[in-house]
Structure 1
């Protein structure tokens, strides 16, 4: 009888463990390569997001993901690449509110209505931040300063139709305060206005702020979330500070209309498994992203509700 010894047994056990731990591969997907299209430039938030999805979802779904950046026209070019692409499950769009805002304000040749949500993955919390040396420690401090001298508080946000603009307009209404809301071409420019002192307060997502936070240049004083966000320190929510306002930016996957049901089912099952993957979860929690997984039916309903609220906001503040 041949004896393998302790090393042999441990080696066999390690191989067995690795096989058990490997992510399960779903039923055969109709294509081997899937393109994930983003409107952001390489290295941008959505580009990183899609690459992480591809890295961890590939083994689960048994496909190879390729991320492509299709910039131009505020996301319209990327939408067109997906809406006009093959309907076999080989091309998808990294969706955020941007593609809906672009559709409503710019009237592009291809709009969000020519695509359908496939799944939603995350809420990307909106935060309020200031320079590290700022005297403002809470939202109450900002409101008090604005009421004492309305022209003293400039709040930096990204584009005129963005969620950060929306949250600040609603915050002023809620607090009966008046602040100067400074819009920009994008989130990066908005952060620069806080860094150079043009604005005293900014609104942004955690991912965009991460570099400045790690450099010790800015600090977050509130999040517009139901619960505190891990990974950013002991930061209270706006609700905890007495301001009942919750707004989050969704991140998901959209595709062309009328995709085969088996494609949708594969994405729903695959992403549900992905969200529980320990390594992937460690990444998104460190980024401050909140698990907000939704099936296609749930994502479609959420989009309809979001569009209704966004249209009301645009009308109220005459944004067009």
Structure 2
């Protein structure tokens, strides 16, 4: 996809920032409110849900507040964005940003979209993987493509307006097959449909696949990265299957428009501390998440640029007018 090289450079630079900004904090940082609700459009067990719940466990020692996760599913993020647009601006409500909320905004007529939210900070770059059920007949992604050329095949992605869905559409086109792309309201439902054989393959993040991988219920076929991942050296890239596809997914936080500058300042201090926490670093590293801190001053223009690039891509692909 056309934005990949630019994202690679941005993430590389931002990732380096993590190691330059690792302040120690003996006491939790003062925060404007006592309780913070972290909202996701993902269903329980989905990537953003896992991201927020894992992060919240460590944030309690860094920020002087209690954290709860709220799942506002429906409409591939549309309901969550409408909810966020009405939220208080005191820093008490934040939203898990992923490319999904940009794609949903561009592909639908919404009462509130990404422009009604204020990007606060980025936390991770999340590599995408292609997986199938453990007892599926496919040993490689090339096997899946060969099957799809001569048979009906269904591939899964969480949420209609997601980077994953767009990436599978792109992979289908580049592979020259007519597979059906099936979406759901979260990674949990997609996983069920892979395990029961409704879907031949799906695309997701290692973070949300951990339980099934450990239970050996699924098998990874490919990673949608430029090179193989160090933690998964035996899993080939999509490129190695002859398909030029790289998927780069960001994970961060946004608030309602006009969110308190004081709250933003706390998050800018907290995230580098969080990413440097040895226990958390080991946990997110095991999930192939790459700590990629981007401060507010850079994250807001990055999001605007990303949205403009995706609008151009979707228009040229004929997805939107």
* 2:270 corresponds to: 270
Kindly state the Cα deviation for residue 266 of structure 1 after the two structures are TM-superposed: 1.7
Work out which of the residue numbers 24, 29, 42 in structure 1 matches 2:31: 29
Q: What residue number does 2:245 align with?
A: 245
TM-superposed deviation, 1:247: 0.7
- Alpha-carbon offset, residue 128 of structure 1: 1.3
Q: Is 284-293 or 271-280 further displaced after alignment?
A: 284-293
- Residue in 1 aligned with 2:151? 151
> Does the alignment pair 1:283 with 2:283?
yes
How far did residue 115 of structure 1 move? 0.7
Conserved? CA contact 2:134–2:216, under 8 Å: yes
Aligned to 2:18: none
Q: Which residue of 2 aligns with 1:318?
A: 319
For 1:78 and 1:172, the matched residues in 2 are separated by 29
Matching residue of 1:107: 109
Q: Cα–Cα, structure 1 residues 51 and 290, in superposed 2: closer, same or farther, change >3 Å?
A: same
User: Which of 1 and 2 has higher RCO (CA within 8 Å, sep 6+)?
Assistant: 2
Q: Summarize the Cα distance change of 1:201–1:37 in structure 2 as closer, same or farther, 3 Å threshold.
A: closer
Correspondence for 1:49: 51
Conserved in 1, the CA contact under 8 Å of 2:38 and 2:70?
yes
Match of 1:93 in 2: 95
Give the unaligned 5+ runs of structure 2: 1-23
Indicate the residue corresponding to 2:307 in structure 1: 307
Give the alignment's TM-score, normalised by structure 1: 0.79
Greater shift, 131-140 or 246-255, is seen at 131-140
**Aligned mates of 2:298, 2:270 — CA distance in 1:** 16
Compared CA separation, residues 168 and 71, structure 1 to 2 (3 A): closer
Q: TM-score, normalised by structure 2?
A: 0.79
Task: Give, in angstroms, the shift of residue 24 of structure 1.
Answer: 3.0
SS of residue matched to 2:61:
helix
Counterparts in 2 of 1:178 and 1:43: CA distance versus 1, 3 Å: closer
Query: Conserved in 1, the CA contact under 8 Å of 2:50 and 2:208?
Result: no
Structure with greater Cα Rg: 1
Q: Deviations over 1:253-288 (max 9, x none)?
A: 101223343322221121011111111112212223
Match of 2:184 in 1: 185
Deviation at 1:135, TM superposition (A): 4.3
Q: Deviations over 1:26-78 (max 9, x none)?
A: 65333333222223345544333223222212222333223333344443343
Compared CA separation, residues 54 and 188, structure 1 to 2 (3 A): closer
Q: Helix, strand or coil: the match of 1:92?
A: strand
CA distance in 2, matches of 1:27, 1:102: 34
Q: 1:305 to 1:142 in 2, by over 3 A?
A: farther
Residues 1:102 and 1:56: Cα distance change in structure 2 (over 3 Å) = same
Query: CA, structure 1 residues 319+210, in 2 after alignment: closer, same or farther (shift >3 Å)?
Result: farther
How many residue pairs are counted as aligned between the two chains?
Answer: 297
Do the aligned partners of residues 44 and 132 (structure 1) sit closer, same or farther apart at CA in structure 2, a change above 3 Å counting?
closer
* Cα distance in 1, alignment partners of residues 196 and 46 from structure 2: 22
CA deviations over 1:12-33 (Å, ceiling 9, x no partner): xxxxxxxxxx843365333333
Task: Give the SS at the match of 2:298.
Answer: helix
